[in-house]
Amino acid sequence: MTAQLKTNIPAPAAPKKPKETTQLGITRSDDYGWMKDDNWQAMMADTSKLDSNIRAHLELENSYSAEVMADLTPLKDAIFEEMKGRIQSDAATVPSPDGEFSYNHRYRKGDQHGLYERVAIDTATKEPKGIPQTILDAEALSKDHPSYFDLGAVAHSDDQKWLAYGVDASGAENYEIFVKAMTGEPVSTGITKSAGGLQWAMDNATMFWVERDENQRPYAVFAKNIHDPKDEPRLIYKESDPGFFVSVGETDSGNFIEISAHNHTTTEIWLIPSDAPETVPKCVSKRQAGIEYSLHDQGGYFYILTNAHGATDFAIMRAPMEETAFEDWEDYIPHHSGTLIIGIETYSQFLVRLVRENALPRIIIRDMRDGSEHDIAFDEGAYGLGLMGGYEYDTPWLRFAYSSPTTPRQVFDYNMETRERVLRQTQEVPSGHEPSDYKCERIQITARDGEQVPVTLLYKSGLTKDGSAPLLLYGYGSYGITIPAGFRTSILSLVDRGFVYAIAHIRGGMSKGYQWYLDGKLEKKENTFNDFVDAGRALVDAGYTARGKVIAHGGSAGGLLVGAALNQDPELFGGVIAAVPFVDVLNTMSDDTLPLTPPEWPEWGNPLTDAQAYKNIQAYSPYDNIEKRDYPPLLITGGLTDPRVTYWEPAKWAAKLRDHQTGDAPILLKINMDAGHQGESGRYDSLKETALEYAFAVAITQD
């Protein structure tokens, strides 16, 4: 199927309205600063308030992109149908037991959002003993919000008589909370600015939630009797530092409500007994800059996953529940350099930790009665492994998920007592999938400073490494986030068309431990971009592809990655797909009113007060390093109500790139006028966005 971009259509030329900014004695000018709506906070809640000139420009950009890509429609539709055909239409999660019931989420054929249900079970065997009961029909709810619908947390009370859930109808991530009896109709609680999470107390009436401030930051925890419309929300905790975000949940046992105040490098946790929700919260251990910790309760102790005392790859400490200050912590499982402890879960008799070593994960189980340990690992060269948690604490059963680039996702229940492993579910691919048709490799490339960077590759078996194949190079590389080498049905639409799919596990993530993250942030941020470019170059040298056949793909901070890589070596790339890209780094990190700016200074540096941070950011910020040159085709996307990467970042970047483009490749901007950071929320609608990206990749790599 041949599809091409139309390159003879006049592109929008955004007006230039230079705006000068001076900080730290340095003056810079921004021709496109006008694209930021001065009233952006109000616009997030009501998009009709968007400045008419900005709206007109964004709509012009959308029209241009649609016209340029008009001939891609048959290909896009074909890819969409392929991806849709790989999704089981009536997929369901494995039921998760909780006392007398088991809960799951299920789709009916054609559903975008599905429904939530429960079934009565035998408490000994966990087998169902009745017919499933629908407790929330999300599909029906979505019909009331045709422009945008996203469901936040869905949580039942301890007595299992009540269900609470949140609805975002704009994409701005402000959720209205509703409550309903399991068989009743939902009632709005009047809570409209929840950040999405919610937590029941043991009295089955008190609800805790986090609210956002005027700058869209989750800053305070409130509580109220969720059944009493006259009960006014009471403030439980308010964060005074705009650099810290707040969340609320519960400990593993469910005995404590847990309030966490955190940025990317520092944590402070407060606890409230769940059976006494009126209690004033107690601080576990006061925040100390650079000290992270999470809390897990078991057997009269809190087990604390932390990087304290130089534990770069984290250690587990413990403290008596009555004495939790930092000085009361004692070593339990010591730090082992090179073995990153990703997370832990506690049960009444067991402590489980997920670790990553040599870029591969494994699960280690400790019997808390005698201290004995055993682990769960797999033999493939690259795979993803994740703990799935559950409702029950007093159980020997652990649930985890496994997949690899060639192996569909499997869900296992594992008996920590007997070591019995039960396969509960294997991801179905209705249109068919034969793992032997594909080859997965994990290779190491040598970066320019000599560091070994892991790269995961997926391609059709029998690939000839003669440089003729196009290659999609994906990366992220920020906040310590590691892209797992898991199974993704969507990418097969590219691989089946001859693409090599590559994930570069670059510095800034934690593929090789926490130090891997530290070596890709702040003053070392350039390592992230260098690793990505060096991975692309190495794959060219190895014959997987050729210069000009690499498509760079990244989203959010991954958009920063591909933008910086493009500036560094534009000829390497045949095209760039940048989804909701964080590319105006200097301006964004200099605007302390934006939702994410103060909390992210530990990641990027604060250019308002630190001259070196200003210099570092200015050196790599994609928007600030555009030059007159031939750029390859770009597809840039954004969301009008995105509170994470605001719409004007991709809009400004597209305008400036186009103004500096000396070649004839199109610079395309597509702003979703009815969504935010996550794009479309339905399971099929979201595929349409991916299908467009992949159709673009195919079109620009055709000879």
- Confidence check: pLDDT of 126 > 70: yes
Judged on CB neighbours under 10 Å (0-12, 13-18, 19+), 45 is: middle
Sequence-separated (6 or more) residues with CB below 8 Å from residue 40 = 646
What does the pLDDT average to over 136-163?
94
Return d(Cα 679, Cα 681) in angstroms, integer: 6
pTM of the model: 0.93
Binning pLDDT at 50, 70 and 90, where does residue 216 land? Answer: confident
CA Rg value for the chain: 25
- pLDDT the model gives residue 329: 97
Q: Which residues of 162-199 are buried (b: 16+ CB within 10 A; e: fewer)?
A: bbbbbbbbbbbbbbbbbbeebeeebeebebebbbbbbb
In the numeric block, the tokens 């003056």 are attached to 27
Q: What is the mean pLDDT of residues 1-22?
A: 89
Strand order in the sheet with 282-283: 245-250, 256-262, 267-273, 282-283
**What is the average per-residue pLDDT within 16-43?**
95
Lowest mean pLDDT among 123-132, 245-254, 444-453, 489-498: 123-132
Q: Is 556 a catalytic residue?
A: yes
Whether pLDDT at 145 is above 70: yes
Token pair for 126 = 């966990």
pLDDT for residue 558: 97
Average pLDDT over residues 681-700: 92
- pLDDT at residue 196 above 70? yes
Beta bridge partners of 261: 246, 268
Residues whose CB falls within 8 Å of the CB of residue 342, separated by 6 or more in sequence, listed in order: 353, 354, 355, 356, 361, 510
Distance CA(416)–CA(393), nearest Å, equals 13
For strands 438-446 and 471-474, give the pairing: unpaired
What's the pLDDT tens digit per position in 565-588? Answer: 999 999 999 999 999 999 999 999
Spot the catalytic one: 556, 590, 621, 681. Answer: 556
Beta pairing, strands 397-403 & 410-415: antiparallel
**β partners of residue 440:** 458
Contact by Cβ (8 Å): 216, 228: no
Residue 541 among the catalytic residues: no
pLDDT at 171: 85
User: Is the model's pLDDT at 680 over the cut of 80?
Assistant: no
The residues facing 200 across adjacent strands are 207
Q: Check pLDDT > 50 for residue 660.
A: yes
Reading phi first (left if > 0) and then psi (alpha if -120 to 50, else beta), residue 480 is in left
pLDDT of residue 164: 97
449 as an active site residue: the answer is no
d(CA 673, CA 637) in angstroms, rounded, equals 11
What mean pLDDT comes out for the span 616-628?
A: 98
Q: What is the strand order of the sheet 293-298 is part of?
A: 293-298, 301-306, 315-320, 330-333
Is the C-alpha dihedral spanning 168, 387, 318, 202 positive or negative?
A: positive
679: confidence class by pLDDT, cuts 50, 70, 90: low
Q: 30-73 pLDDT, tens per residue?
A: 999 999 999 998 998 889 999 999 999 999 999 999 999 999 99
Q: Could you read off the pLDDT of 452-501 as tens digits, one per residue?
A: 999 999 999 999 999 999 999 999 999 999 999 999 999 999 999 999 99
Output the pLDDT for position 676: 63
User: How large a percentage of the chain has pLDDT more than 90?
Assistant: 90
How far from 658 is each of 327, 662, 690, 698, CA to CA, in Å? 57, 9, 24, 22
Chain centroid, CA 587 distance in Å? 23
The rounded distance, in Å, linking the Cα atoms of 541 and 255 is 56
The pLDDT value recorded for residue 677 is 63
Give the pLDDT mean for 175-199.
92
The reported pLDDT for the residue numbered 1 is 41
**What is the pLDDT of the chain when averaged over all its residues?**
95
Asked if 53 contacts 37 with a C-beta cutoff of 8 angstroms, the reply is no
Confidence band of 170 (pLDDT split at 50, 70, 90): confident
Domain ranges of the chain: 20-85+432-701, 340-428
Name all contacts of 361-369 with Cβ < 8 Å and 24+ positions apart. Answer: 361/385, 361/386, 363/387, 363/398, 363/400, 365/398, 365/416, 366/333, 367/416, 368/298, 368/299
Compute how many other C-beta atoms are within 10 angstroms of the C-beta atom of residue 677: 19
51: tokens are 């400045």
Gap between the Cα atoms of 335 and 343, Å rounded: 14
Residues 224 and 238 sit within 8 Å (Cβ to Cβ): no
pLDDT in tens, 300-324: 999 999 999 999 999 999 999 999 9
Instruction: Classify domain 20-85+432-701 at the CATH topology level.
Output: Rossmann fold (3.40.50)
Band of residue 173 on the pLDDT scale cut at 50, 70, 90: confident
Closest among 224, 694, 258, 291 to 495, alpha carbons compared: 694
User: pLDDT by residue (tens digit) across 339-387?
Assistant: 999 999 999 999 999 999 988 999 999 999 999 999 998 888 899 999 9
Residues 6+ apart with CB under 8 A from 631: 566, 570, 657, 660, 661, 663, 665, 667
49/56 Cα distance (integer angstroms): 13
DSSP character for 300? T
Q: How many CB atoms lie within 10 A of CB 135?
A: 21
